[in-house]
Amino acid sequence: MIPIKNKEGIIRMREACAVAASVLDLLKTKVQPGISTYDLDQAARHMIEQYGARSACYGYKLGPRHPAYPSYTCISVNDEVVHGIGSLKRILKDGDIVSLDVVVHYNGYIGDNAFTMPVGSVSPRIEELLRVSREALDLGIQQATVGNRIGDISHAVQTHVEKHGFSVVRDMVGHGVGVSMHEDPQIPNFGRRNSGDKIKPGMTLAIEPMVNLGGYKTKTLGDGWTVVTADGSPSAHFEHTVLTTDKGPEILTIPRPLSTLSTAPTQSSAAR
């Protein structure tokens, strides 16, 4: 069953998403040639702590035998689609692209967002990959309208991406988000119109196109986490958390100053 947020839940989701978006916005300013992905991850860790939140990524496990995720954010470079682990050995250089995925736990709720950006100058085709992926996110969000179905979001993303000669990842999907990082429904970036669950007011959805310059197939590296394109082509990832309302979709992951947050973090949400 897809969770429907009540008034209190929506207030707290707005707060958690504002924290996640603010951290992501600040983290973007740290990206430059010569910085390591470890240093970016540690910068994000300190930012999250300043907001009285904690990383929802750190220590996360897919199952009892799966290794716990060791970083505070997911920082994925070039052919890394998602779940890249910060490393002192991974130094960003001019011409790279880097995906920053920030997920925080604040006052009992999750905020989730991602953004891919160039490091220095990139080729025109890479610029197009980033532009089209971001446009696909916007088009998907427009379909998160009460009365539509999840497949309408999926179809909008896939159609736009493939029209420009790129491909959408099929092994991983968007999802509901709330008190847990992953809730129903699943939101593929491919699909048919008028298919899937019906969209109702009060859903909070993490819509996240993952778009490859080459083919859609992926593989997971030996660390058990980092997902890369099977053909080594670059990949882009953009994500917003969206609230569905009778007035249309509301993007929740919008940066806000710390002083504007109205709910204090609970002990369970405080940084640790």
Any known ligand binding at 105? no
Contact between residue 61 and residue 69 where contact means Cβ atoms under 8 Å apart: yes
Any known ligand binding at 46? no
How many whole angstroms separate alpha carbon 68 and alpha carbon 83? 12
- DSSP letter at 266? P
Element (H, E) at 45: helix 37-50
For 90, phi and psi rounded to 5 degrees?
-95, 100
Any known ligand binding at 101? yes
CA–CA–CA angle 107, 51, 23 (5° rounding):
110
In sequence order, the β-bridge partners of residue 211 are: 168, 236
Place of tokens 């991983």: 172
Q: Considering Cα of 168, then 99, then 105, then 57, what sign does the dihedral take?
A: positive
How many whole angstroms separate alpha carbon 199 and alpha carbon 220? 32
How many whole angstroms separate alpha carbon 45 and alpha carbon 71? 9
Q: Which two tokens stand for residue 214?
A: 């080459």
Task: Mark the binding-site residues, compressed into ranges.
Answer: 83, 101, 112, 175, 182, 208, 239
Binding-site residues from annotation for substrate: 83, 182
Q: Which residue ranges make up the annotated binding site for a divalent metal cation?
A: 101, 112, 175, 208, 239
